[in-house]
Amino acid sequence: MGEVIVVTSGKGGVGKTTTTANVGTGLAMLDKKVVLIDTDIGLRNLDVIMGLENRIVYNLVDVIEGTCRIRNALIKDKRYPNLYLLPSAQTRDKNAVTPEQMRKLADELRDEFDYIIMDCPAGIEQGFKNAIAGADRALVVTTPEVSAVRDADRIIGLLEANEMKQTHLIVNRIRMDMVKRGDMMSSDDVCEILAIDLIGIVPDDESIVISANQGEPLVGNESLAGRAYLNICKRILGEEVPFLDLDEKQSIFGKLFGRRKK
């Protein structure tokens, strides 16, 4: 029986789609059968981040409306044998789908896949409700900025109100140089404010931009971000993985992990 995970944030541009692509690809690398669903109807992005934009025939709305069968709409990623994408529709709007339909779709996919990962649109309206409807677990992505953290707090409240079973935090785009000189909140600070469990810290890394340019998720490669994403995947699978030391000299993240273990 597969698990449905929604990647959400409230604020736009904090890295939901990048997180979805890398976590999904990473889980597939760890031999799990994974389907990524882009639920951002009208603003489809996950396909280009995954580098699968030229292979789209059918989309999420086609599946929901019964124009095609699920298996016809799923794009198989040739780089990984266990990875599939269900792209969003570009020419429709968010009201083309209801939360009940999304829940039904997720439940149908549970039999065949280990992980069904929903890439949630920004905002708290219909698209958000659709994306979280069938989910067992939420990954809340934020950056160490006041606006992103505030929106994440709102999202966490809404997830609680919708009785989400598990909610974990990913702090994205940490810049250790700025944290060190006191000009950026640390992942510790963000975690303390939001008061939910941290599952990943991803550094602000040039290689993310390069990977997006190429349409190839960087999870699992030697970059710090690539390693951070693979660690998130392992933690999703229940492994205890220490947080990466993003700053070898001062080891703020080692300190953070030590504190969390108490």
Partner 1 sequence: MGFSDFFKKKGTGSIAKDRLKLVLVSDRAGCSPEIMEQIKNDIIAVISKYIEIDLEGLDIKITQMESESNNGSVPALFANIPIKDLKSPKK
Quick check: 54 and 128 in contact, CB under 8 A?
no
Report the nearest approach of partner 1 to the CB of residue 193 (Å): 6
Report the nearest approach of partner 1 to the CB of residue 140 (Å): 14
**Which CB sits closer to partner 1, 112 or 153?**
153
**Which CB sits closer to partner 1, 187 or 211?**
187
**Which CB sits closer to partner 1, 41 or 148?**
148
Quick check: 100 and 134 in contact, CB under 8 A?
no
Report the nearest approach of partner 1 to the CB of residue 184 (Å): 5
Measured in whole angstroms, the distance separating CA 254 from the mean position of its chain's CA atoms is 24
* CA dihedral sign, ordered 198, 199, 205, 208: negative
At residue 16's C-alpha, the angle toward residues 196 and 68, to 5°, is 120
**Which CB sits closer to partner 1, 94 or 173?**
173
Q: Return the axis-axis angle of helices 146-161 and 126-133, rounded to nearest 10°.
A: 60
Which residues of the chain form contacts with partner 1 (CB under 8 A)? 144-146, 149-150, 153-154, 157, 178-179, 181-186, 189, 193
At residue 38, the 3 state secondary structure works out as: strand
Report the nearest approach of partner 1 to the CB of residue 229 (Å): 25
